[in-house]
Amino acid sequence: MSISKDITISNKLGLHARAATKLAILATEFEASITLIQGEKQASAASVLGLLMLESGIGKVITVKAQGADAQLALDAVCKLINDKFDEES
């Protein structure tokens, strides 16, 4: 089963190192394979370097795709983290 959802990066600094690390740690908690897609680029949510290569800034729309046993849980958790601005103050 593969599911996806479009979401807008809303934190001030975008998908920077600290946010990418938080996302990668979260992604490893699930059996599902989680991929972030922005335009022509895509990266595994478990790869900090891959996430940084997306160069996702504030206002960018990305697609979060999850595939596997707990895909829905993984998708919901990743989207929550992004919507919560990676738990940053701004």
Q: Phi first, then psi: what are they for 64, rounded to 5°? A: -100, 125
Catalytic pick from 3, 5, 10, 16? Answer: 16
Residue 16 falls in the annotated catalytic set: yes
Q: Known catalytic residues?
A: 16
